Amino acid sequence: MPGLATQVERYSVVISIGGVPVRVNTTDADFLALLQDRYAGFVSEETQAEFDFDVDLAAPAFVDPEAPVSVKHRAGRWFMERGDFRAEWDPAARRGWIRQTANPYSIDAVLRIAHSLVLARQGGFLLHSASAIRHGKAFLFAGVSGAGKTTISRLAPADATLLTDEISYVRKLDDDYLAFGTPFTGELAKLGENTSAPVAALYLLAQGPENRIDPVTAANAGRELLANMLFFAQDQEEDREMVHWAFQAACDFVHRVPVYRLTFIPDARVWEMIG
Amino acid sequence: MKMNRKLYVARSPRIAARMLGEEMLVMSSRGSTLFTLNPTATILWQAADGATPLEEIVQRRICSEFEVQPEVALRDAEALAEDLARHGILLISEEPIARPEAPVQEQPQR
């Protein structure tokens, strides 16, 4: 008599970004291979994870990666939604699920959101910025799309280690800030190195007729940092804590880390001014 | 609001605030909106304990800081307080305001 139940194969991969291992579980071997390829360099051999996500590969009933993301906090759980995925995450249980098609973009968005929420409680943040390590120190280059994040990354000298050309990962450890490499890429389409270094400076990017570095007032630094932080709180009572965390994180950061305006022309000599 | 009425102002618990350099930044959880307070608004914010009448704040903190007639200063402060209340930054009442929770921590910054 044939068995009434079919055992479903379960595959897992631990993706460690910013030193935070996240295990992703799937029943689809092809999707596992896709993840291993997408996050190459960030796949960890660790068996322990900070939290787990079970991925349910749903039929592509709706696919609109351009739809705005929605993140809501209800009764201790986070609900995330975009045109191409739905996800729920319970930080206390350290588990969550993602319903998406077999593509790398949806889980990328969920990981960015989850990491930003984890970081917020610890005084850290994800930032729209390129970052690189040189001489043992990390430098962040923040700006909106078109400000020059990818350009400054392309111009980096051979002795610089690129952490990302799009989204930087900043953790607060005691009184120091560390920048970690991320697999979140911009136009360069090149994964960052999975390494870290203390943050020495944040440069606010502007393109101009010459290379120059100008001081920035603390208030302007705070304003611009907040403007470039990945921040998912919405206008809800439950998000009040998140707003306070993000605000305090930005204020603490500009209090401890030098912030400058970096105006540059697309020329490698700009790196002679950095460090 | 009419003058001669005692007004009380308190900091909204939905606001996070920090002095960064010479500027007071406040962020409202309502829409995650960021504001920069001018010097007078900063004084008002710092003194808004819900228990001290606005008139007293004006006399002690604003008239001593700026060369301004008390009546003018009070009128301007009332208008400013109402504006800040409209933005959800201050609570304003004709009765003392019990603080719903501990004030948001403020720290001097660089």
Cβ–Cβ < 8 Å for A51, A114: yes
Output the pLDDT for position A74: 87
Domains in chain A: boundaries: 11-121, 125-273
Contacts of A61 (CB under 8 A, 6+ apart): none
Distance between A230 CA and the closest CA of chain B, angstroms: 12
What is the least distance, in Å, from the CA of A149 to any CA of chain B?
A: 25
Q: State the CB neighbour count (10 A cutoff) for residue A77.
A: 14
Count of H-run helices and E-run strands, chain A: 5, 16
User: Across the interface, do B32 and A231 touch by the CB < 8 Å criterion?
Assistant: yes
Residue A43: enclosing H or E segment and its boundaries?
Answer: strand A43-44
Structural domain includes residue B100: no
A243 contacts chain B (CB < 8 A): yes
Among B20, B29, B104, the residue with its CB nearest the CB of A218 is B20
C-alpha torsion angle, residues A57, A58, A62, A64 (rounded to 10): -10
Half-sphere exposure of A49 (CA within 13 A, CB side): 23
Q: What angle do CA B47, B48, B53 make, to 5 degrees?
A: 95
Q: How far apart are CA B40 and CA B63, in angstroms?
A: 10
What helix, strand, coil percent values describe chain A, rounded to 5?
25, 35, 35
| pLDDT, tens digit, 9 for 90 and up, residues B34-56 | 999 999 999 999 999 999 999 99
* pLDDT for the residue numbered A63: 60
Minimum-distance CB partner of A218 among B21, B27, B31: B21
Question: Rounded mean pLDDT of A11-25?
Answer: 97
Measured between CA atoms, how close is A156 to chain B, in angstroms? Answer: 31
- A28 pLDDT higher than 80: yes
Residues with Cβ within 8 Å of residue A226, at least 6 apart in sequence:
A246, A247, A250, B27, B34
CB contact under 8 A, B18 and A248: yes
Two tokens, residue B28: 């409202």
What is the model's pTM? 0.88
Q: Is B103's pLDDT higher than 80?
A: no
* pLDDT score at B1: 47
Q: Do A222 and B27 touch (CB under 8 A)?
A: no
SS3 B102: coil
Binary contact (B21, A219; C-beta < 8 A)? yes
pLDDT at A92 over 60: yes
Measured between beta carbons, the chain B residues lying within 8 angstroms of A238 are none
- CA nearest B36 in A: which residue? A219
Among all residues of chain B, which has the CA nearest to that of A240? B29
Residues β-bridged to residue A198 = A178
* CATH code of B87's domain: 3.90.930.60
Query: Considering its fold, how many domains does chain B have in total?
Result: 1
To the nearest 10°, report the CA torsion of A98, A247, A233, A172. 10
Highest mean pLDDT among A46-50, A226-230, A235-239: A226-230
Of A219, A235, A237, the CB nearest to B23: A219
Mean pLDDT of A47-61: 86
Average pLDDT score, chain A? 91
**Cβ <8 Å between A223 and B36:** yes
A258 to chain B, any CB pair closer than 8 A? The answer is no
Specify the pLDDT at position A151. Answer: 94
Query: pLDDT confidence of A139, banded at 50, 70, 90?
Result: very high
Helix (H, G, I), strand (E, B) or coil at A231: coil
Facing residue for A222 by CB, picked from B20, B31, B32: B20
Query: Which range of residues forms the domain containing residue B67?
Result: 8-93
Is B46 among the domain residues? Answer: yes
By percentage, how much of chain A surpasses pLDDT 70? 93
Whether residue B102 is contained in a domain is answered as no
Query: B16 in a domain, yes or no?
Result: yes
Q: Is B34 in contact with A226 (CB distance < 8 Å)? A: yes
